[in-house]
Amino acid sequence: MKALFLSNINPTANKPPVRIQQNLLARGERRLLNWLCPRLPGWVTPDQLTTLGFAGAVMVAAGYALSWFDTEWLGLSLLGYVVNWFGDSLDGSLARWRRIERPSYGYFVDHSVDAVGTLLMVGAIGVSPYMRLDVALLAVVGYFLLSIHTFLAAKVVGEFRLSYMAGGPTELRLMLMTMTVLMPIIGSGMVPHTPFSAFDLFALVVASILVTLFILQSYATARILARRGE
């Protein structure tokens, strides 16, 4: 899920981009990750953590799909978010802690896996009873657009934006977990006079924000490049 909020250095850049991280939980999360890294067993590798994070994404998707049969399956999605956070947040942190980074390999594999994991987690909400698939995929498209901007900006202007609007990957997971908890409480009924559920409308708002951020950030980056004559 951190494809949008990059945690690795772009291996194609001449020098490491400036990291911009202003999300609300960043400091506390960094302290926790720094505490966990030296306490992980020696046999645990970054690749294993990346795989674990992807397994968490599969758990999230399975929980949403199975919620057609029983809302208690949403608990599997909640657990999956925690597993995804653990693996996704620790893989790069552990590599840096042990000084075993493989920048090109890690950059490619980590973000490729993240992209598929994001598609599974967010897209699978659209196969639950609570959200339309087309609406969920619109949210995925918005997320991927902003991810593309982040990757490009890290290369062309040397800015490594790890958060937008004080939100990072952990805040996003917490938002999705909160929404998941509310699903059986609010239900899947349509909002009066609309073809959408409350969760559809929420996802449409989020998708609109992501697309708007992509447009604004792309315009700002283009102006920076134009002033530089690049």
Domain with 90 in it: what CATH number?
Answer: 1.20.120.1760
Q: Please count the other Cβ atoms lying within 10 Å of the Cβ belonging to residue 70.
A: 10
Confirm whether 8 is domain-assigned.
no
Identify whether 7 is part of a domain. Answer: no
Question: Side-chain half-sphere of 208: how many Cα atoms within 13 Å?
Answer: 6
The 3-class secondary structure across the chain, one letter per residue, is CCCCCCCCCCCCCCCCCEEECCCCCHHHHHHHHHHHHHHCCCCCCHHHHHHHHHHHHHHHHHHHHHCCCCHHHHHHHHHHHHHHHHHHHHHHHHHHHHCCCCHHHHHHHHHHHHHHHHHHHHHHHCCCCCCCHHHHHHHHHHHHHHHHHHHHHHHHCCEEECCECCECHHHHHHHHHHHHHHHHHHCCCECCCCCCEHHHHHHHHHHHHHHHHHHHHHHHHHHHHHHHCC
Residues of the chain with pLDDT under 50: 5-13
Number of domains in the chain: 1
Label residues 167-192 b or e (16+ Cβ within 10 Å = b): bbbbbbbeebbebbeebeeeebeeee
Q: Each residue of 49-104: pLDDT tens digit?
A: 999 999 999 999 999 999 999 999 999 999 999 999 999 999 989 998 999 988 88
The pTM (predicted TM-score) of the whole model is 0.88
Tell me if 220 is assigned to some domain.
yes
Query: Is residue 6, in this structure, part of any structural domain at all?
Result: no
User: What local confidence, expressed as pLDDT, does residue 70 receive?
Assistant: 96
* Domain of 107, in residue numbers: 18-228
5 lies in some domain:
no
Does any domain span residue 54?
A: yes
211 domain-assigned: yes
In a domain, 1, yes or no: no
